[in-house]
């Protein structure tokens, strides 16, 4: 079966899943869809350019807090749009400030940005708003599921068309040899800032939707540092060379974490850590690289 046919069947399966599966299933799949959005949007920019961003939680949390602040004032679609736009604008500002950095300096800066934003919101909530956290307007689980499915489709389609366009080549050239790309006339800084902000757009959109599932948020929940690393590991596990790599990585590892947490709650983090060590040691190119090696071996045989 061709990739297009399989993708269409998968979308059809996900779109009809709530009609014939137990009520818990869409809730579990919603979490998988969330990680797919975060992982694919991270890989959209960081994969080809090789910039290691550790600020996923920042823009996801911005989307959540936007949903909490505007949820009672605007219709839900506008709340989601506002969450993504605010994250996009903050991504533009962040990109303008920090995308002149490279290597681990960029990674450390982005991780520090998340801690800065988290502690600033924590200070603001306690000293100015005199609150601990915020209640979010609840949306029924089926609506959240379909919103997340739509966001996944939008994120994957945008990433696919970027990779197939000249902009994908521009991002690859930045990752391969940035100085050479600048010498042939590519406005490197402009492209880096825009596509970094575009990836933040989808992270904020996911955060705005997921906030309505969790009902209550505070800075520790919204800007959880774990979310800075999890999409990176999922993308590396799946492989960033193809669009389906981060999707596979997010789906498989989210399922694995759910199984480990439910069956081995006391050893969950230990087993999850061992799993990641094995992945990084034996799958340096992820599942995408593994399938390539299988195809080569089958051709040679």
Q: Residues 34-74: pLDDT tens digits?
A: 999 999 999 999 989 989 899 999 999 999 999 999 988 89
The residue extents of the domains of the chain are 17-300
Say whether pLDDT at 97 is over 90: no
**What is the pLDDT at residue 296?**
66
- Percentage with pLDDT > 70 across the chain: 95
Structure confidence at residue 299 (pLDDT) = 55
Return d(Cα 198, Cα 155) in angstroms, integer: 10
Q: Is 9 exposed, middle or buried (0-12, 13-18, 19+ CB in 10 A)?
A: exposed
CATH of the structural domain 17-300, one choice from 1.10.10, 3.40.1000, 2.60.120, 1.10.3470: 1.10.3470
298: pLDDT confidence band, cut at 50, 70 and 90? low
CA distance 251 to 219: 26
Write out the two tokens for 222.
Answer: 């919204």
H/E stretch holding 53: none
Tell which wins on pLDDT, 195 or 267. Answer: 195
pLDDT digits (tens, 9 = 90+) for 114-164: 999 999 998 888 888 888 888 888 888 899 999 999 999 999 999 999 999
The alpha-carbon radius of gyration of the chain (Å, integer) is 19
Q: How confident is the model at residue 261 (pLDDT cuts 50, 70, 90)?
A: confident
The answer for 35, left when phi > 0, alpha when psi is -120 to 50, beta otherwise, is: alpha
Instruction: Give me the chain's average pLDDT, please.
Output: 87
Alpha-carbon gap, residue 170 to 192, rounded angstroms: 10
**Weakest-pLDDT range from 82-96, 198-212, 225-239:** 225-239
């Amino acid at each position: 079966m061709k990739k297009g046919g399989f993708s269409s069947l998968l979308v059809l399966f996900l779109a009809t899943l709530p009609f014939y599966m137990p009520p818990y299933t869409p809730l579990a799949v919603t979490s998988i869809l969330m990680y797919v959005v975060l992982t694919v949007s991270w890989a959209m920019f960081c994969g080809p350019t090789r910039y290691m961003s550790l600020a996923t939680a920042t823009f996801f949390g911005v989307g959540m807090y936007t949903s909490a602040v505007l949820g009672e004032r605007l219709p839900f679609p506008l709340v989601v749009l506002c969450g993504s736009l605010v994250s996009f604008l903050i991504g533009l500002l962040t990109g303008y400030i920090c995308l002149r950095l490279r290597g681990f300096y960029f990674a450390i800066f982005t991780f520090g940005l998340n801690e800065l934003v988290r502690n600033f919101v924590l200070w603001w909530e306690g000293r100015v708003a005199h609150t601990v956290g915020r209640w979010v307007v609840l949306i029924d689980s089926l609506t959240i599921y379909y919103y997340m499915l739509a966001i996944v489709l939008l994120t994957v389609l945008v990433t696919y068309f970027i990779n197939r366009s000249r902009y994908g080549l521009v991002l690859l050239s930045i990752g391969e040899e940035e100085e050479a790309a600048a010498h042939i006339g590519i406005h490197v800084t402009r492209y880096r800032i825009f596509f970094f902000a575009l990836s933040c757009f989808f992270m904020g959109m996911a955060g705005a939707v997921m906030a309505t599932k969790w009902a209550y948020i505070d800075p520790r929940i919204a800007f959880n540092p774990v979310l800075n690393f999890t999409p990176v590991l999922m993308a590396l596990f799946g492989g960033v060379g193809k669009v389906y790599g981060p999707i596979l990585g997010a789906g498989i590892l989210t399922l694995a974490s759910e199984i480990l947490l439910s069956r081995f709650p006391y050893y969950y983090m230990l087993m999850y850590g061992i799993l990641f060590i094995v992945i990084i040691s034996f799958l340096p190119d992820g599942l995408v690289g593994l399938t390539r090696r299988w195809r080569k071996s089958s051709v040679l045989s």
